[in-house]
Amino acid sequence: MAKYKVAVATNDGVNVNVHFGHAAAFDIYEVDEASGKYEKIEVRLKPEHCDGSCGDGTCGQREVQHSSMYAAAKNLADLDYVLCEQLGPQAIQSLARFNVRAFDIALPISEAIAKINIYRNKIAERALRFKSNHND
């Protein structure tokens, strides 16, 4: 069965409740696609993080913020998804460079992972339909 990995920004281990730029660490979960069962396999520290003092999303210095965002995204490059309470366009773009999909989803972790699993299954179903429609 296929498995995938999800990073969750959480400060209580129960809810997706931390902004990407404020997360000092991410809980990493491995999810079984078929059953939807998941287990926490690691806590990964973010190499550098925004201190939250930025009102415009740039943390005061654009170059510093961009390099910090790139480092944070690269640190999560081996994962499939990142779930945060909130994330901005720079975070989404930085993660996308490493083919990591990011979602802002303020829910309990169990519900958020269930929604990601539903999303993955819908994508797979559409891909199969598209393939079968174009192979006829």
pLDDT for the residue numbered 133: 67
Tell me, what's the pLDDT at 19? 96
Please give the CATH number for the structural domain made up of 3-134. Answer: 3.30.420.130
Q: For 107-135, how does the pLDDT look when each residue is reduced to its tens digit (9 = 90+)?
A: 999 999 999 999 998 887 877 676 666 66
Per-residue pLDDT tens for 20-71? 989 999 999 999 998 999 999 999 998 854 444 444 444 544 444 467 888 9
Can you say whether the dihedral through the CA atoms of 24, 28, 47, 78 is positive or negative? negative
Averaged over 75-100, what is the pLDDT?
Answer: 96
Distance of CA 1 to the CA centre of its chain: 21
CA distance between the termini of the chain: 28
pLDDT value at residue 51: 47
Pairing of strands 3-8, 25-32: antiparallel
Q: pTM to 2 decimals?
A: 0.80
Percent helix, strand and coil across the chain, each to the nearest 5: 40, 25, 40
Give the pLDDT confidence score for residue 134 in this predicted structure: 61
The residue ranking higher by pLDDT, 13 or 122, is 13
Query: For the chain, which residues make up each domain, given as ranges?
Result: 3-134
CA distance 112 to 59: 28
